């Protein structure tokens, strides 16, 4: 019996070693006993490699406390929350935009995404060797792995700018691979790599309707087109946004906005890509996602972090149904009959993270909807407006407003429609991990944070720091982001 060793990825393990040379001597701690590749040379075995990538999104370090800190607490939609004296390790400095290069959340998010990328590379390395598996299935699974790798690199480039591109499973002892893993590429190079992966995924993935009921959490061709549209949005490639958004077919807006964020709304007609949380053991949910954001104090059920800001409350127009679906207010009664007592510590909590059946469980049944058809509509509207086709953008904006119980926009000029679309993105997608990055990409960040008395330093706060430990161990192959 031979063994295939799955090496612990350098970029994950280097943070736990003492110097730049030591990390290369990483123990191969995770091994799979096989008779060559025969154990995995079947449909179920092949799928395991890609399922492991999806499962990474359920981990605490990937999707929970640190990521909530970077993507939400930093934004003007949220405050730190919890008790005044509970910093959540670093959530106070994230809220105040005063973090430094040793920030734990920036470090854990960096490590987690590279661990996930390593799983993608493991799958892409193994799949071609499984010659007893149908070629069409292997091709589809490779497409899934490339989509997920692209998604993780999109997270990294939004957070840190240029990062190392690790496009294959590193060979232990290879100097070329050591340099590959420690050398930052430019942001345009990372975006180009993401686009290549997504185009490969598009060619391999099926449409939404081709999956069986027990495969509904797997990514589709529509998901790849939607993510490619979003990647184009961040690069201001407006025509590509429109072209790719037009190819996202088979999805539609749900009638009831609030339903999307309840267990009954999993994989509804609007969902394009979501992280599937099945709930507590023996199933598997997202570690700590609901618990860390649940109401805190007497009568509460969680840690109380990531609370909706007064600025977000003020952003909703009268009659907007999304406000009540997004924000839990102290003293209210929730959809499942739970009364939020006036004894909880914070005035507001994140309703989109609320779990009913698994309220007190560490592993929640709440899914995270990373791509919805509503966002595709808003991306297309924004791109059309930037292309000077404002008359075509307005009806798309109104689709989103009307579903929210609001009348048509009164905006008519290109500038006013731009502002209206940006505002609509905020209230439509609050607490869906986009607001901070939207403020940065649209140039609104400095003014938005000034409203809350916070200083957004241009030329610095657009990006989070590359972990100081990585910079030290890169030993001159990578440089830190400005200001850190």
Name the token pair of 327. Answer: 């924000």
- Mean pLDDT of the 362-391 span: 97
Q: Report yes or no on 338 lying in a domain.
A: yes
* Rg of the chain (C-alpha set): 22
Given a contact cutoff of 8 angstroms between Cβ atoms, the answer to whether 448 and 426 are in contact is no
Please report which residue ranges of 27-163 form alpha helices under DSSP H.
Answer: 43-56, 60-63, 65-68, 91-96, 104-126, 135-160
Q: Give the Cα separation of 186 and 192 in Å (integer).
A: 10
215 burial type by CB count under 10 A (0-12 exposed, 13-18 middle, 19+ buried): exposed
- Mean pLDDT of the 189-205 span: 98
Name residue, tokens 């609104």: 444
CA 402 to chain centre: 27
At 62-121, the pLDDT tens digits run 999 999 999 999 999 999 999 999 999 999 999 999 999 999 999 999 999 999 999 999
- Least Cα distance to 439 among 185, 430, 484 occurs for 430
Judged against a pLDDT cut of 90, whether residue 403 lies above it is answered with: yes
Q: Report yes or no on 332 lying in a domain.
A: yes
Q: Count the neighbouring beta carbons within 10 Å of the beta carbon of residue 148.
A: 24
Name the token pair of 217. Answer: 């959490």
Which range among 36-40, 84-88, 233-237 shows the weakest confidence by mean pLDDT?
36-40
Q: Give the Cα separation of 169 and 2 in Å (integer).
A: 20
Q: Report yes or no on 300 lying in a domain.
A: yes
Q: Model confidence at 32, in pLDDT bands (50, 70, 90)?
A: very low
Q: What is the pLDDT of residue 359?
A: 78
Q: Report yes or no on 348 lying in a domain.
A: yes
Q: Which domain holds residue 316?
A: 286-366
DSSP-assigned states of every residue in 228-274:
HHHHHHHTT-HHHHHHHHTT--S----S-GGGGGSGGGTT-TTEEEE
Judged against a pLDDT cut of 50, whether residue 10 lies above it is answered with: no
Q: Give the Cα separation of 175 and 168 in Å (integer).
A: 14
Q: Report yes or no on 340 lying in a domain.
A: yes
Name residue, tokens 């990006």: 463
Given a contact cutoff of 8 angstroms between Cβ atoms, the answer to whether 80 and 91 are in contact is yes
Q: What is the pLDDT of residue 295?
A: 97
Give me the helix-helix angle, 135-160 and 221-234, nearest 10°: 20
Name residue, tokens 């123990």: 27
What is the overall mean pLDDT for the chain?
92
Whole-model pTM: value is 0.93
Given a contact cutoff of 8 angstroms between Cβ atoms, the answer to whether 103 and 124 are in contact is no
Q: Report yes or no on 294 lying in a domain.
A: yes
Q: Report yes or no on 322 lying in a domain.
A: yes
Judged against a pLDDT cut of 90, whether residue 9 lies above it is answered with: no
209 burial type by CB count under 10 A (0-12 exposed, 13-18 middle, 19+ buried): exposed
At 142-179, the pLDDT tens digits run 999 999 999 999 999 999 999 999 999 999 999 999 99
Q: What is the pLDDT of residue 360?
A: 78
- Mean pLDDT of the 388-416 span: 98
Q: Count the neighbouring beta carbons within 10 Å of the beta carbon of residue 362.
A: 17
CB-based contacts of 449: which residues, under 8 Å, 6+ apart? 76, 97, 439, 455, 456
Angstrom distances, CA of residue 429 to CA of 125, 271, 349, 376, 425: 36, 13, 16, 12, 6
Which range among 106-115, 271-280, 459-468 shows the weakest confidence by mean pLDDT?
271-280
Above pLDDT 90, what percent of the chain? 88
Q: What is the pLDDT of residue 39?
A: 87
Cis peptide bond prior to 282, omega within 30° of 0: yes
Q: Report yes or no on 328 lying in a domain.
A: yes
Q: What is the pLDDT of residue 357?
A: 84
At 299-352, the pLDDT tens digits run 999 999 999 999 999 999 999 999 999 999 999 999 999 999 999 999 999 999
Q: Model confidence at 279, in pLDDT bands (50, 70, 90)?
A: confident
- Least Cα distance to 117 among 179, 62, 43 occurs for 62
Report the number of distinct structural domains present in the chain: 1
């Amino acid at each position: 019996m031979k063994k295939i060793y799955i090496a612990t990825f350098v970029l994950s393990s280097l943070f736990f070693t003492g110097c730049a040379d030591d990390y290369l001597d990483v123990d191969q701690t995770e091994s799979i006993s096989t008779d060559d590749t025969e154990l995995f040379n079947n449909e179920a075995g092949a799928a395991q490699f890609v399922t492991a990538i999806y499962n990474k999104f359920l981990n605490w370090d990937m999707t929970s406390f640190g990521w909530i800190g970077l993507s939400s607490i930093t934004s003007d939609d949220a405050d730190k929350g919890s008790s005044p004296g509970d910093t959540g390790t670093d959530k106070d400095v994230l809220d105040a935009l005063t973090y430094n290069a040793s920030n734990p959340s920036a470090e854990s998010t960096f490590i987690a995404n590279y661990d996930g990328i390593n799983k993608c590379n493991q799958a892409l390395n193994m799949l071609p060797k499984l010659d007893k598996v149908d070629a069409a299935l292997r091709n589809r699974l490779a497409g899934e792995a490339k989509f997920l790798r692209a998604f993780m690199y999109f997270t990294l480039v939004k957070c840190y700018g240029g990062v190392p591109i690790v496009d294959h499973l590193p060979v232990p002892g290879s100097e070329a691979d050591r340099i590959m893993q420690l050398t930052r590429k430019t942001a345009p190079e990372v975006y180009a790599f993401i686009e290549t992966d997504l185009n490969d995924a598009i060619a391999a993935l099926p449409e939404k309707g081709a999956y069986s009921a027990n495969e509904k959490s797997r990514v589709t061709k529509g998901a790849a087109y939607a993510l490619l549209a979003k990647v184009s949005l961040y690069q201001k490639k407006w025509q590509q946004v429109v072209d790719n958004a037009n190819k996202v077919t088979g999805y539609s807006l749900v009638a009831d906005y609030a339903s999307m964020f309840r267990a009954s709304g999993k994989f509804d007609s609007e969902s394009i890509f979501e992280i599937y949380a099945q709930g507590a053991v023996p199933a598997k949910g997202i570690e700590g996602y609901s618990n860390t954001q649940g109401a805190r104090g007497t009568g509460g059920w969680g840690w109380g972090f990531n609370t909706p800001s007064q600025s977000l409350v003020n952003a909703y127009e009268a009659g907007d149904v999304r406000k009540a679906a997004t924000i839990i207010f102290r003293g209210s009664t929730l959809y499942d009959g739970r009364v939020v007592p006036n004894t909880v510590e914070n005035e507001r909590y994140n309703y989109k993270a609320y779990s009913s059946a698994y309220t007190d469980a560490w592993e929640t049944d709440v899914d995270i909807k990373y791509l919805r058809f509503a966002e595709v509509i808003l991306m297309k509207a924004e791109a059309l407006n930037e292309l000077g086709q404002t008359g075509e953008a307005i009806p798309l904006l109104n689709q989103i407003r009307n579903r929210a119980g609001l009348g048509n926009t009164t905006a008519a000029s290109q500038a006013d429609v731009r502002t209206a679309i940006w505002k609509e993105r905020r209230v439509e997608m609050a607490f869906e991990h986009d607001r901070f990055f939207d403020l940065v990409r649209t140039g609104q960040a400095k003014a938005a944070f000034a409203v809350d008395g916070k200083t957004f330093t241009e030329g610095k706060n657009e990006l989070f720091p590359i972990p100081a430990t990585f910079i030290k161990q890169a030993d001159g192959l990578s440089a830190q982001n400005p200001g850190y």
